[in-house]
Amino acid sequence: MSIDIDQIKGKLKKLQEESNNNGGNSGGNILWKPDEGEQIVRIVPYKENPSNPFIEMYTHFNFGGDILTSPISYGDPDPIYEFGQQLKQQGDEESYNQSKRFEPSMRTYVPVLVRGKEEEGVKYWGFGKQVYEQILGYIADPDWGDITHPKTGRDIKVTYEIPEGWPKNKSNGFPKTTILPKPNQKPAYEDLDKLKEMINNQPEIKKIFKPLSYAELEQKLNAYLDKGGSDNSSSNQNSKNSSSTTDASDEEVPWDESDTQKDNSSVEDAFDELFNGTND
């Protein structure tokens, strides 16, 4: 089964247009993030949707110090987002600018095997918009093709560079994540039966990231507004502003993905149905 390339191109175009317009979890070691230097990973099929390994999650930051899942990830109503849209409809510049702090940020996860640690099973790699664009761009390029295919795909070299003095000293810039598919096509795992077993046994991301109800989010919003919205909300936009290879949102997330136990501030997985086709 392979990805629908035409729909990948459509998604890539949408992300690029959005960029031009500027328009708590308990995952433990199930979530993977790169160490400084180079490492190799391989995207594998997502068992809940084998034709689409990309899991998009939308999150609100800094509402009373919490990280809040947006129900729009599921296609459900979100009172925080709705309030932002009401502000936007006021029609004045100040309301429009204020509305942006109520828009959730997107972070994407993919199931991966980490080379050299395959015995640990499938993990989830989370990254921001710019790395997402890079990966989709490679898939949309016929010279590379579907790098996620379990039999004929490609491993990805992930290079993570940390500026000197980070994070106390930000004058040298943000950490930089660069990705490059390996030139050789190869199976995700030589033992295809074992690969199938690892994919079937991959952890359920829906159990890692737990959502709040509409009513609970409404309470968070009201508490935030009662305080005058003065809890450093400007940092909400960190995940929306970055260069093509330096994606602050990929590294400067306001939670430690490897060890966070805040059930009420976690992120629930959801994704657009990007790839309706199932080309074998």
Please, what is the angle between helix 214-226 and helix 79-88, to 10°?
Answer: 50
Of 59, 180, 44, nearest to 124 by C-alpha is: 44
In the chain, DSSP finds a helix count (H) and a strand count (E) of: 8, 8
DSSP codes, 126-194: EE-HHHHHHHHHHHHSTTT--TT-TTT---EEEEEE--TTTTT--TT---EEEEEE-SS---SSSSHHH
3-state secondary structure of 239: helix
Question: Which structural domain, as residue segments, surrounds residue 230?
Answer: 5-265
Domain-located, residue 275: no
Please, which pLDDT band fits residue 280 given cuts at 50, 70 and 90? very low
Contacts of 202 (CB under 8 A, 6+ apart): 44, 46, 47, 111, 121, 122
Q: What is the per-residue pLDDT across 208-253, written as a single tens digit (0 to 9) for each?
A: 777 789 999 999 999 889 887 655 444 343 333 332 233 434 544 4
**Percent of the chain at pLDDT exceeding 90:** 49
Which range, 86-95, 180-189, 255-264, has the best average confidence (pLDDT)? 180-189
Query: Does residue 254 surpass a pLDDT of 50?
Result: no
Confidence of residue 13 (pLDDT cuts 50, 70, 90): low
Tally of domains in the chain: 1
Three-state DSSP class for residue 27: coil
Measured between alpha carbons, how far is 69 from 67 in angstroms, rounded to an integer?
7
Half-sphere exposure of 128 (CA within 13 A, CB side): 26
CB 177 within 8 A of CB 160: yes
Return mean pLDDT, the chain.
78
pLDDT over 80 at 6, yes or no: no
Orientation angle between helical segments 5-21 and 129-140, nearest 10 degrees: 140
Q: 272 in a domain, yes or no?
A: no
Domain annotation covers residue 271: no
- The answer to whether the bond into 183 is cis (omega within 30° of 0) is no
Residue 15, in any domain of the structure = yes
- In a domain, residue 277? The reply is no
CATH number of the domain that residue 181 is part of: 3.90.198.10
270 assigned to some structural domain: no
In the DSSP assignment, the letter for residue 90 is T
Taking residues 136-159, report their average pLDDT.
95
CA 245 from chain centre, in angstroms, equals: 16
